[in-house]
Amino acid sequence: MVNPHSLVSLCLSFLLLTLFLYASEVSSSSNATKIGQGYSLISIAETPDGALVGFLQVKQKTKIYGPDIPLLRFYAKHETENRLRVHITDANKQRWEVPYNLIPREQPPALTQTIGKFKKAPIEVSEYSGSELLFSYISDPFSFSVKRKSNGETLFNSTSSSSDPFSSLVFKDQYLEISTKLPKDASLYGLGENTQPHGIKLYPSDPYTLYTTDISAINLNADLYGSHPMYMDLRNNDGKASAHAVLLLNSNGMDVFYKGTSLTYKVIGGVFDFYFFSGPTPLNVVDQYTSLIGRPAAMPYWAFGFHQCRWGYHNLSVVEDVVENYKKAQIPLDVIWNDDDHMDGHKDFTLNPNNYPRPKLLNFLNKIHSIGMKYIVIIDPGIAVNSSYGVYQRGLANDVFIKYEGEPFLAQVWPGAVNFPDFLNPNTVSWWADEIRRFHELVPVDGLWIDMNEASNFCSGKCEIPKGKQCPTGTGPGWICCLDCKNITKTRWDDPPYKINASGIQAPIGYKTIATSAVHYKGILEYDAHSIYGFSQSVATHKGLLGIEGKRPFILSRSTYVGSGKYAAHWTGDNQGTWENLKYSISTMLNFGIFGVPMVGSDICGFYPQPTEELCNRWIEVGAFYPFSRDHANYYSPRQELYQWDSVAQSARNALGIRYKILPYLYTLNYEAHVSGAPIARPLFFTFPNYAQCYDLSTQFLLGNSLMISPVLEQGKTQVKALFPPGSWYSLLDWTQTITSKDGIYVTLDAPLHVVNVHLYQNTILPMQQGGLISKDARTTPFTLVVTFPAGATEGDAKGTLFIDEDELPEIKLGNGYSTYVDLHASIEQGGVKVWSEVQEGKYALDKGLIIDSISVLGLDGKGAIGAIELDGKPLIGVSDVKVTTTEHENLDGQNGENKTVMVALKGLNIPVGKNFALTWKMG
């Protein structure tokens, strides 16, 4: 849904830019000011479980940003072979940390256990070695470094010399600062959520502020809906790459200053809780990262179909027409959504009795559910203050709301005056789950969309419901504050000494959100917990949905934090229907894969205002390959469903036609993400880490290891210049077209209006099906295996995988009797071609009657004919209906010379997916 600033953002963009430039100058100049002389290590000892515990004493007290904490405790531990933790906190007093029940992890020793015990047994060594990483420290002023043992490379170094523009360690109650030096050629990624105009690679001197905020995603270089204080660092030494990652697990607001040769954290509370992940590949990094924060949630199969939404489907008949028009246009559609149009007065868990009468809605849902379609609606965290509203009354009775001065904090969102549930309170989680259950009995929705959960508030400060006037008035924009409000600046939480660059303009941190001096469960301050609000709502919503019918939950959340991917998918918020926003969407999507939130996408065609017909053509050609693929538009925008223009409908049929054929591949990537954290959509450097030319490439992306999307992102273009890393690539639109490059090349590809270029890399086996208009139907069709070898190779191997299951079971796993996993292999050696499978738990696929109808092998040496085709040792030719065709490849601007290569296709095989098979033949 539109946020309160979105529609005026265009008018204010120039003002914001001016203020932003000013704020950047202020922040930059303040960054050059050194604060104090750091801390001295006064004792250090080893714990019984092999960790280090030390105590640090401040060297010189300063008053800037408040008094220094005089004594700190630092704790370092190699928690796994590839993960090091460094934790620094007040030695005498417990400080706020991200709750251990939200992100389960090891706890450092209690302060009472360490302050006396370990001071008496100092150790002299200054190095602490693990399997992959080496931690070392300097005593005075205290600093630490982390090195990679295999090559001695320094990954993090907090030393500050007199010539450095940053301070030594600073630790005050509301201001923490630490820096690391970086090599000039390091490529950094992460530190989101923000819209990065320069692409996915972090750009020196761009502002990186982390504080969950409801400002439109059209705002560049500003803190948006999520906070992910981690970055991946990719380095290339003489053609050999290594990657690592650094997580600062801290939910307080922070500025991160990246200067190219250094990176400085300035944080307004909490502790320093660093985790270092050794990699050394990008995939290893995400595997290690998600093993700590939580593996991505398994998504149901239908979630990978196409979704349609709009804020402004005023009644049920409009929704019914949308579904019918998609069917008439022969455009695939799996899920239809409602923004708040279905609600009674914008209130959560309600139905509008006039526009969405329950009997008619239930009839509609029975109809779409019978063919496999799904229905999802929105809920916002703000609960309307209304004495006749059961959800609110039960909330009051269970004492679930965030408090301010002992009373539920009053805010305004769409229904008017609201209170915000405190999802850190176990009673709230139980109440929320019960409300979800009650609503599901009213309307059997298939998932929930949680929005406005940064949390967004149309007002600021301490508010009261006005007397003698209606609020909201029911006319004009719904996001105008109509409560009687007063600014709150009386506490140091509402007006902290250091001002982060909130909203890109150093806005007060309580502006248009919950007052930061408001109180959660057990006295937790909103000041500390602000950026985990949406995350905590995702956890509660996941728990609530999991208890209904035993189905796999689907949740879409706007606000996210470290670990949100374990519970929810994400869309990138309120974007614009512009070419620039189309381009930005790729970088944001790729970042979220690194953050452990692989199910991500942007509003296709843009949320507002009206996209052009050409832009919508090109956007569906990108959006069809987002992991989460949804068209969504604003109340005030003209209709933009994909059938509204004939040309867009054609592009949608083409692009979504490909998507629905590769659904088995996408769903298998979903399984891999859940098992290892591997992103579904990835930057090219994930597959080609040694190929430095792709480190800052943000206009192309991969699905999995091997499927490359090279879209048109500029107006009026009918060609696209695409980078092809070394190897052989095959067009998915025409398997006979190949591009082979020895060292990597750019190729200008034809891309007329209805065409998106998709290429499959060598050494791959891609499982495809025949597509359809609904994923439920598409997944029952016969399979095709596309096998790719390096063009003309006389020896080679190719691999692929296929995971199939009963996709609405809560868990995605093998061994439950409702899943099948297939390893696919192919080899070419001495003229012999072999394609075979190794099946685990084959019964499920056999019971479903799934078959492989055809196998196409690409890139074979074309000098001779095919002979002696056998399936499981038995001849095929002459004794079956199998058809064999050989087609010569066309080499497009590649470097394969005059070598003739061919594709061999076998059709009519009828091989059961659930059984091992081996197909062989001779070439030449």
574 catalytic residue (yes or no): yes
Closest CA to 14 of 219, 194, 211: 219
Closest CA to 275 of 427, 155, 95: 155
Closest CA to 177 of 88, 44, 71: 88
How many angstroms separate the CA atoms of 647 and 446, rounded?
31
Which one is catalytic: 339, 435, 451, 641?
Answer: 451
Question: In angstroms, how far apart are the furthest CA atoms of the chain?
Answer: 91
Q: Which two tokens stand for residue 245?
A: 């990652």
807 catalytic residue (yes or no): no
Rg (Cα) of the chain, in Å, rounded?
A: 28
Specify the 3-state DSSP secondary structure of 715.
Answer: coil
Closest CA to 534 of 292, 212, 299: 212
Phi/psi of residue 413, nearest 5 degrees: -135, -155
Task: Encode 531-546: b = buried (16+ Cβ within 10 Å), e = exposed.
Answer: bbbbbbbbbbbbbbbb
888 catalytic residue (yes or no): no
Which one is catalytic: 454, 494, 641, 807?
Answer: 454
Closest CA to 858 of 896, 822, 826, 883: 826
From residue 792, alpha-carbon distances to 129, 725, 738, 805, 895 in Å are 48, 18, 11, 37, 12
Q: Which residue has the tokens 């056999």?
A: 846
How many angstroms separate the CA atoms of 166 and 163, rounded?
9
Closest CA to 896 of 815, 793, 750, 823: 793
Do the beta carbons of residue 558 and residue 213 sit within 8 Å? no
Do the beta carbons of residue 565 and residue 596 sit within 8 Å? yes
Q: Which residue has the tokens 């209906």?
A: 881
Q: Which two tokens stand for residue 754?
A: 């209805």
Answer left, alpha or beta for residue 661, where phi above 0 means left and psi between -120 and 50 means alpha.
Answer: alpha
Concatenated DSSP letters of 678-705: --SEE-GGGT-TT-GGGTT--S-EEETT
Mode of pairing for the β-strands spanning 918-923 and 832-840: antiparallel
Concatenated DSSP letters of 605-626: T-SBSPPPHHHHHHHHHHHTTS
Answer left, alpha or beta for residue 13, where phi above 0 means left and psi between -120 and 50 means alpha.
Answer: alpha
Helical H segments across 740-861, by residue range: 775-778, 843-848
3-state SS record for 160-229: CCCCCCCCCCEEECCCEEEEEECCCCCEEEEEECCECCCCCECCCCCEEEECCCCCCCCCECCCCCCEEE
Do the beta carbons of residue 500 and residue 253 sit within 8 Å? yes
Q: Which two tokens stand for residue 425?
A: 């309170």
**Which residue(s) pair with 867 in the sheet?**
922
Q: Which two tokens stand for residue 28?
A: 């930059």
How many angstroms separate the CA atoms of 295 and 671, rounded?
11
Which one is catalytic: 574, 631, 672, 807?
Answer: 574
From residue 364, alpha-carbon distances to 45, 215, 312, 358, 631 in Å are 67, 35, 18, 10, 21
Q: Which residue has the tokens 């408040």?
A: 66
Q: Which two tokens stand for residue 232?
A: 């991946």
Concatenated DSSP letters of 283-331: HHHHHHHHHHH-PPPPPPGGGGSEEE--TT--SHHHHHHHHHHHHHTT-
Q: Which residues are catalytic?
A: 451, 454, 574
